[in-house]
Amino acid sequence: MIRVALTHGIAGVGVLAFHLLALPLPWLLGPIAACLMAALMGVPMKSIPVLNNAMRSILGVAVGATFTTALVLSMAGYWPTLLLVPVMVFVIGLIGVPYFQRLWGFDFATSYYSAMPGGLQDMLLFGEDAGGDVRALSLIHATRVMVIVVALPFILKGYWDVDLSNPPGVPAATLPVTQLALMVVAGLAGWQIAKAVGLFGASILGPMILAGILAMLGILEHRPPSEAIWAAQFFIGMTVGTKYAGVTGHEVRRDVVAALGFCVILLVLSALFVEVIHLFVLAPPMETLLAFAPGGQAEMTVLALIAGADMAFVIAHHVLRIVTVIVGAPIAAKLFRRAG
């Protein structure tokens, strides 16, 4: 309990520091930075997984609440860029596996599941079943998410002058109590139903689907209040930072540095795909970057919400990326190993 309280306190200091320094996204990036520094200093930290998942469900409700029938129907028009998602995943694997295996000396299983831009839990599970190094996989994927999430706000601000300081919603006091209650029901029920049927990313996708249905029926008329979105950012940022708890010097020199190099590769690949899509006028460049940047699903949802991006476009591409990796990873790993 002391470690949990200490972790929350460290994350809170990060928020305060980012506010005082006028840095972007203090509720998200502040906890990431503070918890990362504390972890590297050897401070014992711990988060509450159930509470973290509950906070992720807020984002699912926020996305689902924006859905309309017209918006959902328009998703069929995303097919040209959606077709590029599996292509990008394939290219990432083609470059990433040799990068980790030949340059850094990881075994095949660790190299393959380190390269795949899927969900952390899924990649750890697949990697462990294949005999990979679970600790290395955890640090590599945590670093991928952290670097992408930290880099994107500065890119959004630098290239498109996106105002990231606007409140992500209206104050809770201005919303009807019935609407707030509906959001809680959509979040909790959607999460548990999705979990019961085995849906990946249940804590986000379940609430998103249920809230989307309620929104299209005209029952849910508002997005979660700004306080809820800030809380979600806080816990997501803290979760990313605390994944480095207990990291050793050897792990930093090998796993984290290898991951940082791979992040450069991922950012370059993302930029190339964004440029191709922009040249063929298939989608707006900002939405394309948010849709193709291989960060965590929750973190990309936060950035898209705050940037005012087309939520349906961004989420559709990330869901397809995760599906592609989860469905294709075990099959592709076997084929890749035989070819090697």
* Greater pLDDT, 295 or 336: 295
11-21 pLDDT, tens digit each:
999 999 999 99
The residues near 171 (Cβ < 8 Å, ≥ 6 apart) are 225, 226, 227
| Secondary element (H or E) of residue 333 | helix 311-339
Does 335 score more than 70 pLDDT?
Answer: no
Using pLDDT thresholds of 50, 70 and 90, give the confidence band for residue 118: confident
Hey, how many other C-beta atoms are within 10 angstroms of the C-beta on 335?
A: 10
28-52 pLDDT, tens digit each:
999 999 999 999 899 989 888 888 8
Using pLDDT thresholds of 50, 70 and 90, give the confidence band for residue 5: very high
How far apart are the C-alpha atoms of 211 and 205, rounded to whole Å? Answer: 10
How far apart are the C-alpha atoms of 155 and 81, rounded to whole Å? Answer: 21
304-326 pLDDT, tens digit each:
999 989 988 999 999 899 888 88
175-222 pLDDT, tens digit each:
999 999 999 999 999 999 999 998 877 899 899 999 999 999 999 999
